[in-house]
Amino acid sequence: MQGSAAEPRWWSYLVIAVVIYGIWHLLSVMLDSIALPTPLTVFFAFLASLRTDLLPNLLISTIRIACGIALAFSIAVPIGLLSYEKRVDSLVTPLIYMLYPIPHIVLLPVIILFFGIGDLSKIIMIEIIVFFQILVTTRDASRSISRNYVYPMLSLGASKKEIYRHVIIPICIPKILTATRISVGTAIAVLFFVESFATTRGLGYLIMDAWSRANYPDLYAAIVTMALLGFGIYLAIDRVEKKVCRWVYV
């Protein structure tokens, strides 16, 4: 029997954080450049920004990325699961092959034209890019399910709804959540891009604003905050997986 994966302890995160701190501090001392302040300088800038504009912009960015991922998940997962049906897959496959290779970030000007420069356009941009990542993984997971798992339930008179509930969804959900975790990094990158374009709110805006003013401590403080946002979302999805897919961790 294959054992469950070992879960990282809290101290392992602390060790990695200390290593990153040490490497950062060493590089800062060696380069001796204002473009790379020490971690301690950035930490004080972070604390100062918390009392001014960092928290409101962090909240805005969190709402945007959470809504984008949730919207992509709610659309991509049902379509991907239904791709188990050959008729549905015959429609989904051309959609993926024709639209997925397109660099969707270039659609941002078009999205802004249709939905304006507010939060909606940024949420939709995140949703479009994350959507295909989750859809491809979900579709591949549902298509790879052997019919041998389904035939016994059919012989017992199970309905299609029961087959999806007891066979297809349980098999696919670990891969779906893995795809969602992987998409967090992409979503953070897209968040930075959309918030650095035609907006005055969000962590991406803070990064670009600090860069334009050559305020490097604030620049790195905003970058670290964006990294912590992605880390928090990643851990949240990890917690959901441990609750929903308990058999994986037995």
Domain CATH code at residue 185: 1.10.3720.10
What Rg, from alpha-carbon coordinates, does the chain have?
22
| Domain extent for 235 | 39-249
d(C-alpha 250, C-alpha 246), whole Å:
7
As for how many domains the chain has, the answer is 1
- Residue 9 phi, psi dihedral angles, 5° rounding: -85, 165
Classify 1 as helix, strand or coil. coil
Per-residue pLDDT band at 249 (split at 50, 70, 90): low
Could you tell me if residue 163 is inside a domain? yes
d(C-alpha 106, C-alpha 108), whole Å:
5
- Selected residue with higher pLDDT from 151 and 26: 26
pLDDT computed for residue 124 by the predictor: 94
Could you tell me if residue 15 is inside a domain? no
Could you tell me if residue 45 is inside a domain? yes
Average pLDDT value over all residues in the chain: 88
Could you tell me if residue 25 is inside a domain? no
Per-residue pLDDT band at 248 (split at 50, 70, 90): low
Could you tell me if residue 150 is inside a domain? yes
The arithmetic mean of pLDDT across residues 76-103, rounded, is 90
Could you tell me if residue 68 is inside a domain? yes
Among 234, 124, 118, 143, residue whose Cα is nearest residue 181: 234
Note whether 138 and 211 are within 8 A (CB).
no
pLDDT computed for residue 5 by the predictor: 52
Could you tell me if residue 14 is inside a domain? no
Percent of the chain with pLDDT over 70: 96
Report pTM. 0.86
Could you tell me if residue 17 is inside a domain? no
Among 111, 177, 105, 107, residue whose Cα is nearest residue 138: 177
- Selected residue with higher pLDDT from 242 and 82: 82
d(C-alpha 195, C-alpha 62), whole Å:
12
Among 239, 124, 96, residue whose Cα is nearest residue 180: 239
d(C-alpha 226, C-alpha 54), whole Å:
10
Q: What is the pLDDT of residues 141-174, one digit of tens each?
A: 998 888 888 888 888 888 888 888 888 998 899 9
